[in-house]
Each structure stands twice: as C-alpha cells, then as structure tokens.
Structure 1
Amino acid sequence: MSSSPALARRLGTVDAVMIGLGSMIGAGVFVAFTPAAESAGSGLLIGLAVAAFVAFCNATSSAQLATVYPVSGGTYVYGRERLGPWPGFLAGWGFVIGKTASSAAMALTFAAYAAPVGWERPVAIAAVVLLAVVNYHGVTRTAALTRVIVVGVLIALAVIVAAVWASGAGDASRITGGGLLSHGWYGILQSAGLLFFAFAGYARIATMGEEVREPRRTIPRAIVIALGITVVVYAVIAVTVLSSLGTAGVAESPVPLAAAVSSGTWSGVAPVARIGAALASLGALLALIAGLGRTSLAMARESDLPRWLAAVHPRYKVPHRAEVLLAVVICAVILVTDLRGAIGFSSFGVLVYYLVANIAAYTQPRQDRCYPKALQVVGALACVVLVATLPLISVSAGLTMFAVGILYRVLRLWALKVR
C-alpha cells in the first residue's frame, strides 16, 4: 500500500461501539421501515430478520479482515489486498457514492423531523456543514459527540415504546395484519434489501480501523456488540410501530414513530419522538461523514481518487480535504434527491461493497480465519439476491453508478500512464 501520513489511534472499544451504534440506530429506526412496509406489509418482520442475518454474515467477514488489515478504508483495502485493484476499487466506489446518498438521506430525515415546512433542504444542508466542522476537528470529538447522541436516542426510543404500549395504542393483532406473506416473498426480500440499509453502519468501525487502539481485539468485538444491540432495538421498534399503526399506517407515514406515539393517549410524548429522530439522524450522519472521509483517504493513497485527497491535517489528524469536498458533494445531492430514492441507491452500492468483503474474507488463509467459510458464502449469495430484488429504479441507478466508476478509473489509469 502507498505511504502517506498516518491517522492517530485514539479510539477504544466503547468509542468504536458507539460509532457503530450511531451509524445504525437512526438510519433504520426512523427511515427504512416506511419503504419496507410498502414493499412487504407485515412481512417486513421477516425482511428484518433476513437483513439482520445477512448483516451478521457480512459483519463477521469485515471483522475477520479488519484483524489483518487494521487501516483506514475498510473493504476498499481488503478487496485490493485479497482480490486485486479492480475489486477493491468497485467496493470503494460503491461505498463512497452509495454512502454519499445515505448522508443526504440522513440529513433530509433530520430535517423532516426538525425543520419547519418548506425549510427541509436548507436545514439539512446546515446539519451537514455543522457535523463536517465537528469531524474536521478530530476523531475524539467525533466519538464524544456520537456517544452523547446515542445515549439520547436510546432514551428517546425507550420513552416511545413505553408511551405506545402504556397508552393502549399498541394492538398485537395489527402486527401481522393481512399475514406475514401477504406481499409475497419478492416483497419480503425487497424489504430486506431496503432494511439492510439500516444495518450497514457497523462497517464504519472497520473503515476507521487506523484510528482504533488494539485493532485486532477491539474491531471484531465492537462490530459484533454494536450489531447485536441494533438488532434488538430494531425488532422492538418494528413490533411497536406495527402494533400502533398497522402495515398501511407505517407505509404511509414519513415519520412512523411520531405517528405511533400520536395515535395513543400519550400524544404529548410525540415531541420526544421527533427529538429522538433528529438526534439519531445526526448521529448516523456524523458517522457517515467520518467513514466517507477515511475511505476517500484510502482510495486517494492508491491514486484511485485524486492524490491531494490523501492529505492528513497536521494537528487534527483527519483527512481534512476529503471531508470538506464530501460535505460539499452531500449538500449538492440534498438539493436534487428524495428520501426513498437515496435509500435504494445506497443499498445497491453497499450490497456490492459487502459482496467484495465476503469474497475477500473467503480467500483468507486458515491462520487468519475467525469464522467458517460458510458464513462468507451465505453472505455473498445473499448480497446478490438482495441487490436483484431492489426497486428497478435503484438497480438502474446503481448500475449506472458503477459504469461511471469503471469509466472514471480506466481514464485515470490511462492519464497516469501517459504522464
């Protein structure tokens, strides 16, 4: 790998777990259930289980690879080291482009809960700028703010769940209304692909591997802990919103948790749902911006992105140029995108990212293995299946994204060769 200034190892296990939780709890709880219910009805519960299992397979692959390659870049680095430059590039390109869309989705989600009507996009852009400034000033500040946000979100979610059930708004008969299979297996798999968007944050821990202390021990432990906590939280929230709103209500509401609380006698708690959603979205956005900067840094080190993006700030030890550029790009995406389109587009890129991770982990020798190869096989096949079941517009946009990436790299390699 190319040499460039190194980042500082300042994160412990708790910090790494919090960054993983901040990436996941928010993206799914407040965004992905609505399109998932539209695709699968109450079958989204099966879709959630499928997405969680696929996430587990992918998480173990990422953890196994991170113990050997504890540097910034995540699967971009793993793909290059185990499979070659092209698979690594495709993983990195899918991550950077897909997660840029995710960042826009998180900013718009924050604005949907926090901004006055008509001010959603300006408020979303302001959130991106604010969090980019926090990230710019060092990873310890990122971790500290993430910890505060995660604790606040978990408290808000606990209040929401208690309010729905204690007020009598929850009705268990609504949870499976119409039957778990009413939308068919295709709808369930499509919901799993959309819900996978919600779990993908555990990779942020591996992506920031160059800044974790004792990475061979810390990264695998933090990934599994963060994913386990998230699965439990998602399951509780999914059951709660379905019991309150039914499948049609979840599918129709852009803010299902707030709607669930408002449907009961504890409607005065509804502002807590909005505050929790806003905090969760900010936490996910904060971690996304940090992860994007580190992957861009790794790609720039190998000249897969312009080399000037590989700069590390001499004082704050962050990829400051990459983070500033990405903040500008995310703000531009906010001006032209919508929430559902961003989720599907992001899912396509991230599923390709984890396909590369599973294949890379499969090739590791016995002495580097922590998990059976069967998990990597299942994870890789599941990524392909879930990509195929995403909405057609998401698949088309994703294929176009990778076609542009391939053309970009071909032209860049040619330009570097003729210099």
Structure 2
Amino acid sequence: MSSLPSPVPRVPDQLQRRIGVPDAVVIGLGSMIGAGIFASLAPAAHAAGSGLLIGLACAAVVAYCNATSSARLSALYPTSGGTYVYGRERLGEFWGYLAGWAFVVGKTASCTAMALTLGSYLWPDQAHLVAVAAVAALTAVNYAGVQKSVLLTRAIVAVVLTVLAAVVVASLTSGTLDTDRLSVDADTSFSGVLQAAGLLFFAFAGYARIATLGEEVRDPARTIPRAIPIALGITLIVYTAVAACLLLVLGSEGVAAAGAPLTNAAKAVGTDWLVLAVRVGATVATLGSLLALILGVSRTTLAMARDHHLPHTLAAVHPRFKVPHRAELVVGTVVATLAATADVRAAIGFSSFGVLVYYAIANASAWTLTSAEGRPARVIPATGLVGCLVLAFALPRSSVIAGAAVLTAGAAAYGLRRALVRHG
C-alpha cells in the first residue's frame, strides 16, 4: 500500500500527525464502548425480545464489512473527512457531499443522545442542563488539542472496561442466572431483530472516528487498517459478554423495561457497591463517547468547509493548537442547543439512519477499488451496502421519515448551490 501514490493533493493548513496505533484504538473504543451498553440495549431488547443477541450479531456483521471497507479506503485517502472524501473521489462530488451531510447530521444527533444519556445518569432531574454543560466542557478539551483528548479518552476507556468486567463477573458468579433466558422464543419477529440491529449499530459506528482523523494519524496507510478491526473486535467481545449476562440475569423483558439495564442487573445480583460503580461507569462512558463524537464531527465539518460545501470560514486551523477551532465551536454550539431541547430516543433513531446511509456510501466506494488499490473481497462491500440499507429502513418509521427528509433537504441544498455556481 505504501508504494502507491496518494490520490489526494496536499491542502493548506494541514493538521499535525500525532496519533499512533494504540491511541487510534483507544479513540475507537472510546467512541463505541459506552454508547451501546448504556443507551441502546434497552430499546434493542424492546424490538427484538429474546432475539437480542441475534440482532447484535447482525449489527456486528454489517459493522465488520463497513470497517473493512473504511480501512482500505482510508489507507488511500489519509485525510480528514472519512467517507466524505472516499465518496467524492470514487463516486463523484454529490455522493461525497451526501455522505458528509449524513455523517454531520447523524453524528450531531449522536452527540445529543450521548449528552442526554450522561445527564440522565448523573442528575436525572436536570438532565438537559447537565448535557449542555458537558458539551461545553468537552468542546473546550477538543479545542485545546487532539493529544489532550487522546489522554483523557485512554483513562475513560480503562474505567469503563473495569466496570463492565465487574458486572460480567458479578453476574456469572451470583448464582441467579437462568440459562433458559438465552433461548430464542418462537414468536421473535425477523423485523424486530432487524430493527434491533439498526439500533445497536448506533453503538458500533465509533470506529469511523479513526478514519475521520486520518490527517492526524502517523503512517495512516498502516495505522488505520490495523486500528479499526482491533477496536471493533474488542468492542464486540465486550458487548456480547455484557448483553448475554443481562439476558441471563434480567431476561429480555427485564432488559427492555429497564431505564438503566446495567444498574438493574447490579441490583438483581445483590451487589450494592456495584450499583454505584455502574452509575459512575455510565457517566464516564458517555463522556468518552461524547468527547470522540464531537472530535469526529468537527473533522468532517472541516473537510466539507475546505470544499465550500459548508461556510469556508469553518476550514480554519488554529495556529497554536493545530485543530479546526471554528468548526469545533460551531459543532459544540449546535449540539448544546439540541441537548437543551431534544429527546434521547428520537436522537438515537435519527442518528442510526444518517450513519447507516453514510456507511452505505463507504461500501459503494470500496466496491470501485482495484486489486492494486487493496480492494477487499467483493462480498464485503456488497454485504455492507445491502446491510446498511436494510437496517436503515428497518428502523422505527419516525426515524426513517425524519432522516430521509433531512437528507433530501441536504441534497436539495447541494443542487441549488450547483445551479447558482453554473449561472454565475
């Protein structure tokens, strides 16, 4: 790969390359672990019932295909923007723009969902206020430089993994497990499993943060393809272990009905100290996810601003901190505004739709790679493309309608801008 010339020309105000494989993996883990465990399992169990683990497996298969396609593309296009860049270079300007638009709006909704999840665990009566304060604080951390973000994310991942491991061990040694709860009921619906997979995909999508930071990664042709599958594999193991333990302790109905499934599981196994630990872990996990989400959205905003699809003033890189400071401030302001007013469940569904469209374009882009460019086996981008579209339209109807409307509005804005440029 490294012998291939880069198809992306050098652009002004390059970001500094400081991230290696370990830190890239940590960023991916910080983006994924937390979102699914603390925000997605209950609605997914409500949709799939006893088929929750099947939904998790479906989400993981699609995520693996997306990760592989993204890794191959990021090795050729090691610049900020992710699928916004891949779609533009492989499919044409419109598809790159649509991917970027889907990512920005979808992940802005993800930021909102994570901020509200944080508020609900930390101070339920003032969830919106806590969410706004958290967005403001983490925007300031990102503004000060990506390396500080990596250091904080490393600490967050360590805390969350410790808490989740404690939940698994306590559950398995409690003597309250019922293995019959892992059996799939005959009335489990296929559509419910697909909807659960779409909701759980919200949790797996964090590995994209590694690709969107391509301009800040050392030796991206080697680092990114290694970091993405490592982060995804660790996350899948953690998710499967925790989801299985929750089913064994609470059953699918108990998980679906719980506002905080891990807290309920800790209470059920009779470990009072673990209840507090879970609440702390949930708070720390959502902080980690929110930190990385704001980081990724601002980098895609930077890339789109460089190409004038968003106001060009957002393309500025801070002379001292070497970060897209204006993009970060705008993203932080928008997320804080939404966090003050939005509903967390609606934010999750809307986010999943946008992100699945984003990855559909990534897989279509990977399909166009040649063998000399490191094209994956054709079945991988094909499965990823079909899987993304199926899961997107299996989501709740309100999420599909809202997501399609926003993407259509973005496409119309693109067409209007093109028409204005053509006619002077």
**TM-score interval (norm. to shorter):** over 0.9
Q: Give matches, 1:217-236, under 5 Å.
A: 217-236=222-241
Q: What is the rounded CA distance, in whole Å, between the counterparts of 1:162 and 1:80 in structure 2?
A: 47
State which of 153, 161, 171 in structure 1 corresponds to 2:168. Answer: 161
* Separation in 2, partners of 1:148, 1:172: 35
- Quick one: which of 99, 111, 128 aligns to 1:121? 128
Which residue of the partner structure matches residue 100 of structure 2? 92
Q: Does 1:28 align with 2:36?
A: yes
Which residue matches 1:269? 274
Q: Tell me, in whole angstroms, the C-alpha distance in 1 between the residues paired with 2:45 and 2:271.
A: 24
Identity of aligned pairs, percent?
Answer: 53
Distance, in Å, in 2 between the alignment partners of 1:311 and 1:222 is 28
Equivalent of residue 371 in structure 2, options 366, 369, 378: 366
What is residue 152 of structure 1 aligned with on the other side? Answer: 159
- 1:356 alignment counterpart: 361
Q: CA deviation at 1:200?
A: 0.3
Which amino acid is 2:300 matched to?
T
- Cα deviation, 1:259-316, whole Å, max 9, x if unaligned, reads 1101122133101111111111111111000000100000001111110000000111
Question: Within 1, Cα distance between the matches of 2:18 and 2:70?
Answer: 20
- Checking the alignment, whether the CA contact within 8 Å between 2:366 and 2:375 is kept in structure 1 is no
Contact 2:103 2:358 in 1 (8 A): yes
Alignment of structure 1 residues 273-352 onto 2, 5 Å: 273-352=278-357
SS of aligned partner of 1:312? coil
Write the letter of the residue equivalent to 2:191. Y
TM-score by length of 1: 0.97
Give ranges in structure 2 of 5+ residues lacking alignment. Answer: 1-8
Cα separation, partners in 2 of 1:351 and 1:379, compared to 1, 3 Å? same
- Cα deviation, 1:195-241, whole Å, max 9, x if unaligned, reads 11110000100000000001000000000100000000000010011
**3-state SS in 2 of match to 1:6:** coil
Task: Determine the structure 2 residue equivalent to 1:410.
Answer: 415
The SS at the match of 2:76 is: coil
Q: Distance in 2 between matches of 1:296 and 1:14?
A: 25
Give the Cα separation in 1 of the matches to 2:34 and 2:167.
Answer: 14
SS in 1 for 2:340: helix
Distance 1:106 1:366 in 2: 39
Aligned-pair distance for 1:403?
Answer: 1.4
Q: CA deviation at 1:180?
A: 4.5
> 207, 212, 220: which one pairs with 1:202?
207
Match for residue 72 of structure 1 among 80, 104, 110: 80
Structure 2 CA distance, aligned partners of 1:167 and 1:124?
A: 35
Query: How many residues are aligned here?
Result: 416
Match of 2:193 in 1: 188
Query: Secondary structure in 1 aligned to 2:125?
Result: coil
Query: In structure 2, what is the equivalent of residue 44 of structure 1?
Result: 52
Residue 77 of structure 1 deviates from its aligned partner by: 0.3
For residue 146 of structure 2, what is the aligned residue in structure 1? 139
User: Which residue is equivalent to 2:18?
Assistant: 10
Amino acid at match of 1:222: A
Conservation of the 8 A alpha-carbon contact between 2:113 and 2:348:
yes
**Cα distance in 1 for residues equivalent to 2:171 and 2:136:** 35
**8 A Cα contact 2:104 2:297, kept in partner:** yes
1:55-106 CA-partner distances (Å, limit 9, x unpaired): 0000000000001000000000000000011100110000000000000111
Amino acid across the alignment from 1:149: I
Which of 173, 177, 195 is equivalent to 2:180?
A: 173
Q: Normalization by structure 2: what TM-score?
A: 0.96
Asked if the contact 1:2–1:301 (Cα under 8 Å) also holds between the matched residues in 2, the reply is no
Contact 2:369/2:375, CA 8 A, preserved across alignment: no
Deviation at 1:118, TM superposition (A): 1.7
Instruction: Report if the CA contact (8 A) 2:128-2:341 is conserved.
Output: no
- Between the aligned partners of 1:323 and 1:263, the Cα distance in structure 2 is 42
Contact 1:35-1:194 within 8 A present in 2 as well: yes
> Could you say what the CA RMSD is over the residues aligned between the two structures, in angstroms?
1.3
User: Quick one: distance in 2 between partners of 1:246 and 1:233?
Assistant: 19
Q: Distance in 1 between matches of 2:276 and 2:187?
A: 33
Alpha-carbon distance in 2 for matches of 1:132, 1:414: 36
Letter in 2 for 1:311: A
Secondary structure (helix, strand or coil) at the match of 1:193 reads: helix
How big is the shift at 1:370?
4.7
Partner of 1:67, secondary structure, is helix
2:185, 2:110 → 1: CA distance?
28
Return structure 1 stretches of 4+ with deviation > 6 angstroms.
none
